[in-house]
């Protein structure tokens, strides 16, 4: 069974999918900010970074920030939906549904999120709550994001969205007649409901921090696993809230 799945993933549409994910991670790696430049920015101000590179909200502009968030979303979120894509692909072999349309619908939802996240980053930068590196300048902002993300782990909406992601076969069979693109939109919406709060923690960990992106991707992948995910979600919420509260208390 495993060998058959591996052979199936050598099909052109799967190779294209993996190329998209790897290409997104490669682009993020090339755009990542070296530690010495981050340190220079903290010492000398954002003018150092503006003089050396253009990846800042003020210099690059809103469109470039949107593109950066779209790359992040593709790199981080597409792998978390891999079991769902594989399930749909198995079902689609019998009816000829198009894998690309499913992924396209999924990516469209996260593209919309990317625009909103970029707008939020731009606004926070203008309000001097965020550095040109995409890091929070405000301890209270960081604490608030951590507590909010932790609290969201306990909400019925989070649980309902996770239930759909953890049982992709039931999810797709419920909406199969809507076609691949609308199924992709629905899957993307469920995934967004699971992960939007964790994605916004990029403002705490650093928008272009590869270590944060890798850790967050792994956590979101585990959360969507049927068995292991159920024992991770709420402890993660407790950890996030506790971290936020400690951060707030220590800043007093």
The number of domains in the chain is: 1
List, for the chain, all residue ranges whose pLDDT scores fall below the cut of 70.
1-10, 31-61, 93-97, 133
pLDDT in tens, 145-177: 999 999 999 999 999 999 999 999 999 999 988
Distance in angstroms (rounded) separating the CA atoms of residues 39 and 24: 26
**Pair of tokens at residue 66:** 């949107």
- 228: Cα within 13 Å, side-chain hemisphere: 8
Cβ neighbors of 71 (< 8 A, separation 6 or more) are 24, 27, 28, 31
Convert 30-91 into a string of H (helix), E (strand) and C (coil): HHCCCHHHHHHHHHHCCHHHHHHCCCCHHHHCHHHHHHHHHHHHHHHHHHHCHHHHHHHHHH
Distance in angstroms (rounded) separating the CA atoms of residues 51 and 125: 18
**Pair of tokens at residue 97:** 């549904």
pLDDT at 49: 41
pLDDT at 117: 93
Domain containing 77: what range? 2-250
pLDDT in tens, 26-58: 887 776 655 555 555 555 454 444 443 444 555
Q: Can you spell out the DSSP letters for 106-155?
A: HHHHHHHHHHHHHHHHHHHHHTTSB-TTS-B--HHHHHHHHHHHHHHTTS
pLDDT at 18: 86
């Amino acid at each position: 069974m495993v060998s058959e799945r591996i052979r199936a993933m050598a099909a052109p549409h799967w190779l294209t999918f993996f190329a998209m994910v790897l290409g997104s991670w490669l682009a993020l790696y090339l755009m990542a900010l070296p530690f010495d430049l981050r340190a220079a920015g903290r010492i000398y101000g954002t003018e150092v970074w503006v003089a050396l590179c253009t990846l800042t909200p003020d210099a690059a502009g809103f469109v470039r920030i949107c593109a950066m968030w779209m790359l992040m979303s593709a790199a981080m979120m597409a792998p978390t939906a891999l079991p769902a894509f594989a399930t749909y692909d198995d079902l689609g072999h019998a009816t000829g549904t198009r894998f690309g349309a499913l992924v396209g619908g999924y990516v469209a939802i996260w593209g919309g999120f990317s625009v909103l996240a970029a707008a939020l980053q731009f606004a926070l930068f203008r309000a001097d709550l965020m550095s040109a590196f995409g890091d929070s300048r405000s301890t209270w902002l960081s604490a608030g994001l951590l507590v909010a993300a932790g609290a969201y782990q306990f909400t019925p909406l989070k649980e309902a969205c996770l239930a759909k992601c953890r049982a992709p076969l039931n999810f797709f069979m419920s909406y199969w007649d809507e076609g691949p693109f609308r199924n992709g939109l629905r899957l993307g919406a469920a995934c967004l409901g699971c992960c939007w709060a964790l994605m916004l923690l990029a403002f705490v960990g650093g928008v272009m921090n590869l270590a944060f992106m890798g850790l967050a991707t792994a956590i979101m992948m585990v959360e969507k696993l049927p068995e292991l995910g159920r024992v991770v979600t709420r402890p993660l919420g407790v950890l996030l809230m506790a971290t936020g509260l400690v951060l707030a208390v220590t800043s007093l």
